[in-house]
Amino acid sequence: MELSKLKLIVTGGAQGMGRHFSLRLAQAGAQVTAGDVLEDGLKSLEAEAKGLPGKIFTKKLDVSNEGQCTEFVAWAHQQMGGLNGLINNAGILRDGLLVKKDKETGQVKKLSLENWNAVIGVNLTGATLMVRETVAKMVEAGDKGVIVNMSSIARHGNRGQSNYVSAKAALAMNTNTWAREFAPFGIRCGAVAPGMIETPMTQGMNQKARDQLVSMIPVARIGLPEDIWVAVKFVIECDYFNGRCIDVDGGLSM
């Protein structure tokens, strides 16, 4: 697909990779509807995009809310006069060991159900809802297009991230499932799995853990949103790419 012909939704578009993707798409002449729970970030994104060849529309979106997903997709279709793609980027972290023992007190602590449900609700259920609603609208309108799911190299397993790993692994596997299901409609589905990327999410990590991860990256640096954009752009533009997940991690093995 040509970037300039895209009418595409980006979730988690207010900051980090989602913001970067939205701006790069608008620079290429695409129409973008960016959703996020961070309304101030959305306003500044829309302002930053003024004067670009494409257009960015913004609206508050909590992907874990089914009603908001349905409403957002309908709104996006109306704003852009069509819909032919989704970058399924929204995500959160609530890291913690499933079970741990306090070094001082010996007390056994467990990962809370609240933190499990929060991550699954956004990173898996929310992502799935956005795919379902976007594809349903595209099929209804007879539009072909592409879905890009943002997985993670953490899907291979990572200590302290049972909730995040579960969501990102499922999203990568469902990329293949959905590629098969959507093929009759002319809709491709691919995934990109970032490694350690410089975003507000990773900037909020424990510094010791962050430094340790960076030291394990063979290319000897943390990734940038632009590194991931190159992979996302490939998935969008290569009409023969389908049902697969690309790791973009600098060679990091977790």
Taking each helix axis from N to C end, the angle separating 127-141 and 66-80, rounded to the nearest 10 degrees, works out to 40
Nearest to 89 by CA among 18, 164, 168: 18
CA distances from 223 to 10, 29, 43, 137, 168 (A): 20, 26, 26, 34, 19
Q: CB–CB of 164/93 below 8 Å?
A: yes
Q: What is the C-alpha separation between 134 and 148, in angstroms, rounded?
A: 12
| Single-letter code of the amino acid located at 105 | T
Known catalytic membership, residue 164: yes
- In single-letter form, the type of residue at position 1 comes to M
Q: How far apart are CA 158 and CA 95, in angstroms?
A: 10
What proportions of the chain, in percent to the nearest 5, are helix, strand and coil? 50, 20, 30
Q: Which of 21, 57, 164, 229 is catalytic?
A: 164
Catalytically active residues, by annotation: 164
